Structure 1
Amino acid sequence: MEFSSSLQQPVAALELNLDSTSVKSIKRDFYELLVCLEGNGILIKNDEELSFAASDSFFINKGDSVELKTFNNATFMCCRFSEDTKFILKDLVSKSKGKAVAPIRAKSVLNPKISCSEKDVKLLMQLHKTLLVLQSDFFLNANLMYYQLLCFLTIMERNIPLQPGQPTKGIPELSIQPIIKHIHKNLRTPELLSLSYIAKTFNLSTNSLGIFFKKEMNISVKQYILQSRMAAISKRIEQKKQSFSEIAFEFGFTDESHFYKSFKKHFGVSPSNFKKNLM
């Protein structure tokens, strides 16, 4: 059995009901949000194996190859959207003054799988049901579908966990964790990671933010951001899907030269040599 590799309209919602089987996909020309409602198995994305169970969700990029191997009967909610839709969503996000989430931020750089809370899965199910109804007349309901899709992305985004392996023992849930999550969901957007912006977002002075963060994490805010961005960038290079110029653009560097200098300063080797050492 195979996934569809093309999209018939700009936004599409569907439900996948699978038995103990393998579902493959060639590279698709759309983006996809997958949420497992029941069952378990393995999702293979671009040769990377990820186990899944109920409440796990995935952001599938345009061009990704995906294979689903289910161990028992499994049900997925799917939301698919085109490249043009992504730009429409970005425009809506830019006009929301930070209240909505851009499509690129719903996919955690360091966490390819997002486990949603039980309450949020129920909300996603309601949004998905609405999309299923609206898509019967897309041209009449297009704007409504775009906003439903933004809500879907926002709920996925708020379930992004901390960086894998990041110790959380002793960290107050209502203090440092929101700051950490803000950093990780904005690794590609440097302007949202300035000390002044973070401090304003969490109603702190820049001095208070620096002292509090260093006390809780034993590292400065700037050092933590740098380490997290470079970890995400190195993962991008390991995936061998993008050119250095594309990675530089994705992570907000002014140009490729700036990207090279920053990478070499942090790792001690150029991006090219880093990539060669992976072979």
Structure 2
Amino acid sequence: MRKLIYCIIMGFNCIFTVMEIRNLYQPFELSFIETNEYEAIEHKNTFFEMVFVLEGKGVQIINNHKLPYGSDKLFLIFPQDTHRFEINTTSKFFFIRFNQSYLKTQTKEWVQKLEFIFHNHNHLPGCILKTITDKPLVRALIEALIREHINEHPQQQEVIKQLINTIITIAARNIVLMPAAAKFASQHVMQLLNYIHQHIYEPRNLKAEVISKHFNVSPTYIGEYFKTQTGQSLQEYIMEYKLKLIETRLRFTDMRISEIVHELGFTDASHLNRSFKKRRGVSPSEYRKSSDLSNYNS
């Protein structure tokens, strides 16, 4: 069987053999692959990738970790993740690839969903769909993407973007159901971390007394327990998580510092700048400039 890729790239069709290409030159790209010998050499992408398996069996390898794949599985692959597939039976893959320019066109609420994926996924192989009913739902959305491209109805690109965003939203809600971090064995710590991640935009709900009331324990106990389990104080963890969100916004959005200040509950821009520079060694504006230069040169 000859190996072919049928691509859908911003409204254009093409057929070609697998090539060692790892950059993405459009805001997003959709591609369908049917093959029994997808010999993808281990590589790193400069873009984000979601892979849905329509048919077939084999092994997915991310960052040297292996796990079998099968039909109706959805995988996430991030920039800098090393990745490849080993094909056991003829397989059909559907790829959704998108880069930073695509992210910058989205709404604040949608970016927040994506941030949850960035900072809570474990970068290991395996399907992220933990809700059984979401597997046929995502499959239906993937099939709708294919049909939408073929039919070429009016507002085609807008419909395609909405379908992509819906799939990403479903991925985000499934990640909520996953362990917050593999290194934390305690279910209580996982619950604490998930609580923090879900309320990171609500400073009032991140106060120790509010968290302790939510979990029905004393503020002193929850602070000591959290540090024993994670090696960080509750407030240190919250600040570090906020800084990771700030990094994501500086890299992938055009948000102003004043907007980030308001959204993440900093006192003012000076407070954010001091906190960021203290822990990252550069100011937010310097970080954004260096990220833009790095992305331009990649």
TM-score grouping bracket, smaller chain normalisation? 0.5 to 0.7
The residue number in structure 1 matching 2:170 is 155
Q: Aligned residues, how many?
A: 228
* Structure 1 residues 66 and 21, CA gap change in structure 2 (3 angstroms): same
1:18 & 1:115 partners in 2: Cα distance?
23
Offset of residue 185 of structure 1: 7.0
Q: State the Cα distance separating 1:139 from its structure 2 match.
A: 7.7
In 1, Cα distance between equivalents of 2:115 and 2:191: 19
Question: How far 1:71 moved relative to its partner?
Answer: 4.0
- Structure 2 Cα separation of the partners of residues 147 and 135 of structure 1: 13
Task: State whether residues 39 and 86 of structure 2, in contact with CA within 8 Å, keep that contact through their aligned partners in structure 1.
Answer: yes
Is residue 2:184 matched to residue 1:166?
Answer: yes
1:145 aligned partner, one-letter code: I
**Which residue is equivalent to 1:257?**
277
Shift of 1:74: 3.6
- For the residues of structure 1 that align with 2:28 and 2:239, how far apart are their CA atoms? 31
Instruction: Give the TM-score normalised by the residue count of structure 2.
Output: 0.57
Per-residue deviation, 1:112: 0.7
1:84-233 aligned within 5 A: 84-89=101-106, 91=107, 94=108, 96=109, 101-109=112-120, 111-113=122-124, 115-117=128-130, 118-136=132-150, 137=152, 140-160=155-175, 161-162=178-179, 163-168=181-186, 180-184=193-197, 191-192=200-201, 194=203, 196-197=204-205, 205-206=210-211, 208-209=213-214, 211-212=216-217, 218-219=225-226, 223-224=233-234, 226-227=236-237
Per-residue deviation, 1:111: 0.4
Query: Is the 8 Å Cα contact of residues 29 and 63 (structure 1) preserved in structure 2?
Result: yes
What one-letter code is carried by the residue in structure 2 that aligns with 1:130? A
Tell me what 2:97 maps to: 80
Matched, 1:41 2:59: yes
What letter corresponds to residue 17 of structure 1 in structure 2?
E
| 5+ residue gaps, structure 2 | 1-17, 252-263, 265-271, 282-298
Contact 1:13 1:80 in 2 (8 A): yes
Unaligned runs of 5+ in 1: 237-244, 262-279
Paired amino acid for 2:142:
H
Using the aligned pairs only, state the percent identity.
12
Please give the alpha-carbon distance, in whole angstroms, between the structure 2 residues aligned to 1:225 and 1:123. Answer: 38
Question: What aligned pairs does 1:261-276 form with structure 2 within 5 A after superposition?
Answer: none
Q: Shift in Å at residue 152 of structure 1?
A: 0.8
- Superposed displacement of residue 168, structure 1: 4.5
Structure with larger Rg: 2
Given residue 167 of structure 1, which amino acid in structure 2 is its aligned partner? A
Is this contact kept in 2: 1:115–1:159, CA < 8 A? yes
